Amino acid sequence: EAAAMWWALRAVRRPPPAFRRGLAKPARPRSVRQLREAEEAAPVFQYAGKAAKRKDRVFVWGFCYSGALGVPSFVKPDVGWKKPRRIQPTPYRLETEEKISSAACGYGFTLLSSNTADITKVWGMGLNKDSQLGFQRSIRDRTKGYEYVLEPSPVPLPLEKPQETRVLQVSCGRAHSLILTDSEGVFTMGNNSYGQCGRKVVEDETYSESHLIHQLKEFDSRVVQVVCGQDHSLFRTKKGAVYACGWGADGQTGLGHYNITSVPTKLRGDIAGVNIIQVSSYGDCCLAVSDEGDVFGWGNSEYLQLASVTETTQVNVPRHLPFKIGKIKEAACGGTGNIVLTEEGNVFVWGYGILGKGPNLIETAVPEMIPPSLFGWSDFNPDIRVAHVRCGLSQFAALTNRGELFVWGKNLRGCLGTGRMEDQYFPWRVTVPGEVVDVACGVDHMVSMVKSFT
Amino acid sequence: LNAVPGRAPRQHVRFLPAPGDDGAPGLVAARVPVLADHPLVRGPRFRRLKIGAGHRLDVKASGVFVLGIGHGNKLLTDLYNCHLTKVYTVGGLLGKATDDFSDTGNLVEKTTFDHITREKLERILAVIQGTNHKALLMHSNIDMKTQEAYELAVKGLIRPMGKSPPIITAIRCLQFALPEFQLEIHCLHETQQYLRKIVHEIGLELKSSAVCTQVRRIRDGVFTLDDALLRTQWNLQSIQNAIWDCQLKVKTELEKTLG
């Protein structure tokens, strides 16, 4: 009876059928049909739209303590335990507010300029002991200026129409800089002890914390290119004439004498009447390329740069360099070596130092060609050509048409950007995450303008 | 192989008892085959074959696979030490990302790909080639400051002659039809999974995603697709012909590289 009672109680406590759960199916590997349906139902993510534009970026590398790289945390880290970084051996991205169209590296300072119509068109960073970056007002003391600028700071230009004029190009020398605009001539700032700023030399002038920015407008036609040598300046006008001012003890002004020139004067010699399409200089030697592919040189020739025409070590009148290497498209001058690029895309070097053909070639007066296979040319890639050549003080840089950057020369304080501290005796690729559009070489740092891939 | 008639059994001279003259037992010299050489005593000539494999080819890939038979295994190690490049045809599909980088894996993400053009792909491939060329020069363990390093670099003969991570010596796009594309890759010391990973990374660089659909080895050192035997040709005659044709090629290549 107890059992019957127990069974009756159990019968009452059984839940009604409506609440009963069906047996859940155990987990099984999903069938092909289920996988396909899950795949089709998955959401699609969009990372870049159809009209996505390629971004413009600036990469810097080299010696950091001068502030020329524009990254303050390299010199003064924001965290207490980090140490200041002396050298940046590989390309580092620099954030800029606008798209930078032209950059120039001087001796421990950098100028970046943009083609914008905004009020701030030029930014400067690095050494400012001779006001080569203009007057940078100090925040702590409003009457004094900064001697070192660690971040890209706007350079105040005395423009008449600041919202219409556009800055085309900048160039930097040892302690002075030139800014070229499209309608208001050339602005010069910095050291003027040799007249390189194009104004009369004032004795015992203090150049640091100076507000003076000189404007040059008197040329035969519009200036289209400005180039700074170590202590002299060159201007190329639209008509193909070249003007020079500054120090001339090595004949780098090309005016026929070895004195200082403080007013831009037109060059004569073998250049008179020739339409020059490009001028280049960085140390004390200068090269000019004409529209017919001839190259002219003047200035210092202690390192056999002009030894093909003369034995003297200083040439103060432009001389035609009779090289039989083909029509020359572009030339670049370094401190001790020169480099030219011909129409076929071949690169020729001459001068003294690490020229790029191995450790055995130290100096040559006649241009030697660098084999194109070192720039990536091979049977697999037959249409790689060098598009531009640039020179630093003892380094060379070449840009190919695929956007690759090759550097070689003395690796002074990591300026080559290869990641190693050793000198590079033949062209070596620099790994930059993007297509390199232009590069500016300085003494111990370099700046490159890069377009991202997608 | 065992059906091929082997060498004839050796003969030796034995003095066999045979009825001589006048019915007396005498010995007669007779040339008889050695009993030890009888096929039933000797057994089949080949019971085992030593077959060695060349560079690995995994299950999902296809193409040229080099095998060495018998004494050829020694040539296999020599060929490995030559460090010659291999050529692959790699097919990719844009818009998908899976966990094992091939189209049979579990789906991780789907993305759009209409912004991709052939020009962008070629730019990425140029950069991959550039960085791998740099890695090639760095792992070849030659001092960059010497004149011979410069001369080898000019000729393009610098190669890592020891262990190194996978290096791509050349890469180019053969076909591009959204969403599929096909690449030809020349590489050293690689695995097929590494090539699938490269396809995935190309997809990431293009701000989309890609999976690898096909990996096919076209050339392995000196052996190309023309030398390779198809499944239907796996018989003794074609194998023998293939070995015969390749011998000269292998010998010249070994002499050229290893000296």
Question: Which residue in the set A52, A431, A453 is minimally distant from B124, CB to CB?
Answer: A453
Q: How far is it, in rounded angstroms, from Cα B145 to Cα B168?
A: 24
Q: Do B205 and A431 touch (CB under 8 A)?
A: no
Tell me, yes or no, if B124 comes closer than 8 A to chain A by beta carbon: yes
With cut-offs at 50, 70 and 90, classify the pLDDT of residue A50: confident
Tell me, yes or no, if B50 comes closer than 8 A to chain A by beta carbon: no
Rg, Å, chain B Cα set: 29
User: Does residue B217 register a pLDDT over 90?
Assistant: yes
The per-residue pLDDT for A329 is 93
Q: How far is CA A441 from CA A188, A348, A401, B70, in A?
A: 20, 18, 19, 61
Contacts of B202 in chain A (CB under 8 A): none
Q: Do A431 and B155 touch (CB under 8 A)?
A: no
pLDDT in tens, A261-278: 999 999 988 898 899 999
| CA-closest candidate to residue A243, choices A230, A224, A167, A337 | A224
The per-residue pLDDT for B121 is 92
Residue A18 lies in a domain: no
With cut-offs at 50, 70 and 90, classify the pLDDT of residue B2: confident
A108, A89 contact by CB (below 8 A): no
pLDDT in tens, A176-197: 999 999 999 999 999 999 999 9
Give the mean model confidence (pLDDT) for residues A280-290.
93
Give the mean model confidence (pLDDT) for residues A372-390.
89
The first and second tokens of residue A86, run together, are 């002396």
- Alpha carbon A164 to its chain centroid, in Å, reads 25
User: Does residue A115 register a pLDDT over 60?
Assistant: yes
The first and second tokens of residue A282, run together, are 């960085």
Q: Can you say whether the dihedral through the CA atoms of A60, A65, A68, A73 is positive or negative?
A: positive
Q: Can you say whether the dihedral through the CA atoms of A128, A131, A136, A141 is positive or negative?
A: positive
With cut-offs at 50, 70 and 90, classify the pLDDT of residue A21: low
Tell me, yes or no, if B129 comes closer than 8 A to chain A by beta carbon: yes
Q: Is the peptide bond before A17 cis (omega within 30 degrees of 0)?
A: no
Residues above pLDDT 90, as percent of chain A = 64
H/E stretch holding A277: strand A276-281
State the nearest Cα–Cα gap between B120 and chain A, in angstroms: 7
A92, A69 contact by CB (below 8 A): yes
Residue A376 lies in a domain: yes
User: Does residue A15 register a pLDDT over 60?
Assistant: no
Beta strands A44-45 and B107-111: pairing type?
A: parallel
Q: Do A428 and B134 touch (CB under 8 A)?
A: yes
With cut-offs at 50, 70 and 90, classify the pLDDT of residue A11: low
With cut-offs at 50, 70 and 90, classify the pLDDT of residue B25: confident
H/E stretch holding A437: strand A435-441
Q: Name the pTM for this structure.
A: 0.86
Q: Do A44 and B110 touch (CB under 8 A)?
A: yes
Domains and CATH numbers, chain B: 1-48 (no CATH), 51-258 (3.30.2350.10)
Question: Which residue in the set B111, B149, B151 is minimally distant from A47, CB to CB?
Answer: B111
A122, A157 contact by CB (below 8 A): yes
Portion 52-91 of B in contact with A at CB < 8 A = none
Question: Which residue in the set A45, A360, A453 is minimally distant from B147, CB to CB?
Answer: A360
Q: How many CB atoms lie within 10 A of CB B6?
A: 13
Which of B123, B187, B208 would best serve as a mutation to test chain A binding (most A beta carbons within 10 A)? B123
Q: Can you say whether the dihedral through the CA atoms of A298, A304, A309, A314 is positive or negative?
A: positive
Tell me, yes or no, if B110 comes closer than 8 A to chain A by beta carbon: yes
In chain A, what's the furthest Cα-to-Cα distance?
136
Q: Do A376 and B129 touch (CB under 8 A)?
A: yes
The first and second tokens of residue A14, run together, are 């059984």
Question: Which residue in the set A381, A403, A426 is minimally distant from B153, CB to CB?
Answer: A426
User: Does residue B111 register a pLDDT over 80?
Assistant: yes
Q: How far is CA B192 from CA A28, B217, B221, in A?
A: 31, 9, 16
Q: Can you say whether the dihedral through the CA atoms of B197, B198, B199, B203 is positive or negative?
A: positive
- Main-chain phi, psi angles of A407, to 5 degrees: -130, 155
State the nearest Cα–Cα gap between B104 and chain A, in angstroms: 11
Q: How far is it, in rounded angstroms, from Cα A233 to Cα A393?
A: 16
Q: How far is it, in rounded angstroms, from Cα A451 to Cα A233?
A: 30
Find the closest chain A residue to B130 by CA distance. A429
For chain B, give the number of residues: 259
* Helices B192-205 + B118-139 axis angle, to 10: 130
Q: How many CA atoms lie within 13 A of A183 on its CB side?
A: 9
Q: How many CA atoms lie within 13 A of A159 on its CB side?
A: 22
Q: What is the CATH number of the domain that holds A203?
A: 2.130.10.30
Q: Is A349 strand, coil or helix?
A: strand
Q: How many CB atoms lie within 10 A of CB A108?
A: 23
The per-residue pLDDT for A13 is 62
With cut-offs at 50, 70 and 90, classify the pLDDT of residue A9: low
Residue A43 lies in a domain: no
Q: Do A371 and B208 touch (CB under 8 A)?
A: no
> How many helices (H) and strands (E) are present in chain A, helices listed first?
3, 29
Give the mean model confidence (pLDDT) for residues A371-394.
90
Contacts of A425 in chain B (CB under 8 A): 144-145, 150
B63, B57 contact by CB (below 8 A): yes
Contacts of B155 in chain A (CB under 8 A): 373
Question: Which residue in the set A47, A374, A380 is minimally distant from B153, CB to CB?
Answer: A374
pLDDT in tens, B56-83: 999 999 999 999 988 889 889 888 888 8
The first and second tokens of residue A62, run together, are 């080299």
A103, A58 contact by CB (below 8 A): yes
A419, A26 contact by CB (below 8 A): no
The per-residue pLDDT for A318 is 92
Give the mean model confidence (pLDDT) for residues A386-399.
93
State the nearest Cα–Cα gap between B108 and chain A, in angstroms: 9
Q: Do A358 and B151 touch (CB under 8 A)?
A: yes
The first and second tokens of residue B126, run together, are 């140029």
The first and second tokens of residue B93, run together, are 């599909």
pLDDT in tens, A236-261: 999 999 999 999 998 999 888 899 99
A111, A176 contact by CB (below 8 A): no
Q: Do B206 and A423 touch (CB under 8 A)?
A: no
Contacts of A376 in chain B (CB under 8 A): 129-130, 133
Residues above pLDDT 90, as percent of chain B = 41
State the nearest Cα–Cα gap between A410 and chain B, in angstroms: 12
Q: How far is it, in rounded angstroms, from Cα A156 to Cα A179?
A: 12
Contacts of B149 in chain A (CB under 8 A): 358
State the nearest Cα–Cα gap between A356 and chain B, in angstroms: 9
pLDDT in tens, B199-212: 999 999 999 999 99
Residue A17 lies in a domain: no
Interface of chain A against chain B, CB under 8 Å?
38-39, 42-52, 357-360, 371, 373-374, 376, 378, 380-381, 402-404, 422-426, 428-429, 431, 435, 453-454
Q: Exposure of A416 by Cβ count < 10 A (0-12 exposed, 13-18 middle, 19+ buried)? A: buried
DSSP A153-178: EEPP---SSTTT--EEEEEE-SSEEE
User: Does residue B97 register a pLDDT over 90?
Assistant: yes
Q: How far is CA A114 from CA A148, A305, A433, A439, B5, in A?
A: 22, 34, 22, 15, 87
Q: How far is CA A389 from CA A46, A92, A385, in A?
A: 39, 22, 11
The per-residue pLDDT for A62 is 94
Q: Is A37 strand, coil or helix?
A: helix
Tell me, yes or no, if B206 comes closer than 8 A to chain A by beta carbon: yes
Tell me, yes or no, if B130 comes closer than 8 A to chain A by beta carbon: yes
DSSP A59-126: EEEEE-TTSTT--HHHHS-SSTTSPPPSEEEEEEEE--SS-EEEEEE-SSEEEEEE--SSS--EEEEE
Residues above pLDDT 70, as percent of chain B = 98
Mean pLDDT rounded to a whole number for chain B: 88
The amino acid present at B115, given as its one-letter code, is H
Q: How far is it, in rounded angstroms, from Cα A454 to Cα B47?
A: 61
| CA-closest candidate to residue A150, choices A59, A70, A64 | A70
Contacts of A38 in chain B (CB under 8 A): 107
Q: How far is it, in rounded angstroms, from Cα B141 to Cα B72?
A: 30
Q: Catalytic residue positions of B?
A: 58
Residue A79 lies in a domain: yes
User: How many domains are contained in chain A?
Assistant: 1
Size of interface A-B (CB pairs under 8 A): 99
Which of B131, B150, B155, B157 would best serve as a mutation to test chain A binding (most A beta carbons within 10 A)? B150
With cut-offs at 50, 70 and 90, classify the pLDDT of residue B162: confident
Residue A37 lies in a domain: no
Q: Do B123 and A435 touch (CB under 8 A)?
A: yes
* Helices B72-82 + B236-258 axis angle, to 10: 40
State the nearest Cα–Cα gap between B59 and chain A, in angstroms: 21
| CA-closest candidate to residue B150, choices A421, A365, A361 | A361
Rg, Å, chain A Cα set: 31
Q: Which domain holds residue A148?
A: 54-451
Q: Do B131 and A431 touch (CB under 8 A)?
A: yes
The per-residue pLDDT for B254 is 87
With cut-offs at 50, 70 and 90, classify the pLDDT of residue B189: very high
With cut-offs at 50, 70 and 90, classify the pLDDT of residue A3: confident
With cut-offs at 50, 70 and 90, classify the pLDDT of residue A298: very high
The per-residue pLDDT for B16 is 79
Question: Which residue in the set A371, A422, A429 is minimally distant from B145, CB to CB?
Answer: A422
With cut-offs at 50, 70 and 90, classify the pLDDT of residue B157: confident
Residues 6+ apart with CB under 8 A from B114: A50, B178
Residue A12 lies in a domain: no
Looking at residue B223, what DSSP letter applies?
Answer: B
Q: How far is it, in rounded angstroms, from Cα A171 to Cα A102?
A: 9
Residue A29 lies in a domain: no
Residues 6+ apart with CB under 8 A from B48: none
Q: Do B111 and A46 touch (CB under 8 A)?
A: yes
Which of A360, A428, A453 would best serve as a mutation to test chain B binding (most B beta carbons within 10 A)? A453
The per-residue pLDDT for A440 is 94
| Nearest-10 Cα torsion for B141, B145, B151, B153 | 50
